[in-house]
Every structure is written in structure tokens, then in C-alpha cells.
Amino acid sequence: MLSFPEAGRWWLEKIFPLSRRISGFARPVLKKVTSIPMPDDDVFDATQELMIQIEKIQKLLSNPSVTSLRLVTNPEKMVIKETQRAYTQIGLFGYLADLIVCNRVLPNEASQSGYFASRLSGQQKYIENLNEIFGTIPIKKVPLFQEEVFGFDNLRKLAYQLFGDEDPAQFFYSDLPFEIINLYNKDNVNKDIPEGAEQEVRLRIPVVSKKDVNLNQNGEELIIEVGRYRRNMLLPRALQKRDVISASLNKGILKVWFGGENND
């Protein structure tokens, strides 16, 4: 679903105009020989409007000054793994995650029970791992309540456990998932910056290794593959005619350096 707006934009720009022209030519002919309905202009207009609205929603959701995502996990091995995957995916597509919520945490008094003591010990180990995985993103813990959380009273208790007197609508973390750095006016003495680099794209792709990342440049698009996930990232005009000259992945930050203009 995260890739759908970009795939839709590609289809709208590359395939949609051709499909509409072919349908316009074929519709009168096919009406004479078959009763199978062909899409008319109203269908194409509605489809085009739908894709435009979806792209607008995507721009709103990926605007870090307006929207952030909050990931909820449990202190369990497999659940944390799934949260890691979700965190990687939203980082790949440029969405800001400003808070991690660790839910269903056993209270310390559970250690007094032999039945829950080992479970509590395991949870504490996984909670420590959360800090290593998500770095500087704030992590808030919610205890395992004695009863199911539903109804306004219990939801208020849950909200107070999470935020206390803080404003829950504030941004708890604001590091941008994606940024472009102009190197023209920088003294490129940093040994990490390759010779000839003029602009640098930084994208946060946490909890992945180099072997899982593959980069390709195709005209105006930078194609980033992380495992089975793929993002066709539309480059700004300033980068569309420049070549990728090098890239690196270190501590969850993918850096892609662009050099002089290509001849395409």
C-alpha cells in the first residue's frame, strides 16, 4: 500500500494516456461486433481523479511538518521483528515515525509470582533491545491492564499512562526521513564524500544491512530495493540529469551522491 501512490503516478503518466487513446479508437469498432462494454471517457476521468486524490493524500501523509506515524509493539521477539519491518518500510517511503509504543508490559510486581517471573525477565530484555533498534526515537511503555481496554474510562487511563500531562498531538521526534544536501558551497574535506559529488541525498532506512539494499537510476527515478520492498523515488529536477556516482549505508542512513550532468 505504501508504494501504491508512486505506482499509480507512474501508470498515470506512462500507461494511462496510451490506454485512453486505444480505447477511444477501439470503442466504436468493438460496439459493432461485440456486446462487451468498453470504458468511456467518464470512466477514465474518474480513474484519473482518483489517482490524483490518492497522490494528494500521500503528499499529506509524507509531510513531516503535518503528519507522523506511531508504531505499537509488544515486548515479544516476533512482534518486535514485525515492527522493525514496518519501521524500515515507512523510512524507505519517507514517512516520519515520531514515537514507539511498547504495549502490554508486565508490572514489576509480577516478579513475585513464579509463573510470571521468567516472562517479566524476557520482556525486560526485549525492552532493552528496543532502545538499540530504534535509537533516539522516544519509546513509551503501557502496562498490561487487569481488564480489556475499552470504553472511555479505560481509554482515559491508557492515555494518561502514555502521555500524562503531555500534549499527545505534539511531535516527539522530528528528524527528517529524507533530505537533500547541496555540496556546492561545502569544503569537501570529509573523506566520506566522493570526489566530484555535488549533491547528496540522505534517506533513513533503519535496521537493514548493506547486502539487502540495491540501487538503480532510471532517468528521473532512483529505484531503491530493500529486500522484497521497492521504491521508485521521483528525483527533484536538480538531480534528474545527474549521475549517481556513489552510495553508502551506515547506521541506518543511506547516502547517495550525485555528480555532474549526464548526457541522456
Which letter does DSSP use for residue 235 in this model?
A: P
519509546: which residue's cell? 139
Distance CA 45, CA 65 (A): 32
pLDDT per position as a tens digit, 140-194: 999 999 889 999 999 999 999 999 999 999 999 988 777 888 886 555 556 678 8
**Per-residue model confidence (pLDDT) at position 220:** 79
487513446: which residue's cell? 21
Chain-centroid distance of CA 257 in Å reads 21
**Per-residue model confidence (pLDDT) at position 189:** 54
Q: How many CB atoms sit inside 10 A of residue 37's CB?
A: 10
Contacts of 100 (CB under 8 A, 6+ apart): 70, 71, 72, 73, 83, 130, 134, 137, 138, 139, 140
pLDDT per position as a tens digit, 19-35: 777 777 676 766 766 77
pTM attached to this predicted model: 0.70
pLDDT per position as a tens digit, 182-216: 886 555 556 678 888 888 988 888 778 888 899 99
Residue 131 has pLDDT above 70, yes or no: yes
Q: How many CB atoms sit inside 10 A of residue 109's CB?
A: 9
pLDDT tier at 1 (50, 70, 90 boundaries)? low
Distance CA 177, CA 171 (A): 14
